[in-house]
C-alpha cells in the first residue's frame, strides 16, 4: 500500500518541478525589467520632458528630503520620512512616483522605494 502512494507522490513532485523552475525564471525576468537599471524606457521621463518636469516640481514646492548616502538609480530610499507623489499624466503614463531627495527630483518604484530615474 505504501509503494503506490510513494510512487504517486514522486510522480507528482517530478511533474511540478518544471513549473516551479519556470515560475522562478519568470520572477527573475520581471525583476530585471522592474528595476529599470538598464536605462530609460516605459514609465520614465523622456529627456526632452525633463526640464518641464523639474519646473513642475519647483512650482509644486515639493519639499526636499535629506539622505546621508549618495542617491542614484538603484538606491533604496528610507522607509519613513519620504513622501511620494503621483506623476502628472502630461509626463506620460507611469506606475512610478516622484519625490525630491537632496534637491534632486527622482522617480521611485513605490513598493520597493527603489530609485528608478534621477531627473538631472
Query: CA nearest 38: which of 74, 70, 69?
Result: 74
Tens of pLDDT, residue by residue over 8-30, are 665 666 565 554 444 433 222 22
User: pLDDT: is 82 or 5 the higher one?
Assistant: 82
Residue 55: pLDDT over 60: yes
Is the CB of residue 108 less than 8 Å from the CB of residue 115? Answer: yes
> SS3 of 76, please?
strand
Tens of pLDDT, residue by residue over 78-95, are 888 899 999 999 998 889
pLDDT at 67: 87
Amino acid at each position: 500500500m505504501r509503494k503506490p502512494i510513494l510512487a504517486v507522490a514522486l510522480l507528482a513532485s517530478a511533474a511540478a518541478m518544471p513549473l516551479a523552475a519556470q515560475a522562478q525564471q519568470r520572477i527573475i525576468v520581471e525583476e530585471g525589467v522592474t528595476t529599470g537599471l538598464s536605462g530609460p524606457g516605459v514609465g520614465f521621463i523622456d529627456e526632452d520632458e525633463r526640464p518641464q518636469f523639474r519646473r513642475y516640481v519647483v512650482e509644486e514646492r515639493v519639499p526636499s528630503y535629506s539622505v546621508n548616502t549618495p542617491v542614484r538609480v538603484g538606491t533604496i530610499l528610507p522607509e519613513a520620512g519620504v513622501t511620494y507623489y503621483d506623476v502628472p499624466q502630461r509626463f506620460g503614463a507611469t506606475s512610478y512616483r516622484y519625490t525630491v531627495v537632496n534637491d534632486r527630483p527622482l522617480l521611485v518604484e513605490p513598493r520597493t522605494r527603489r530609485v528608478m530615474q534621477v531627473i538631472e
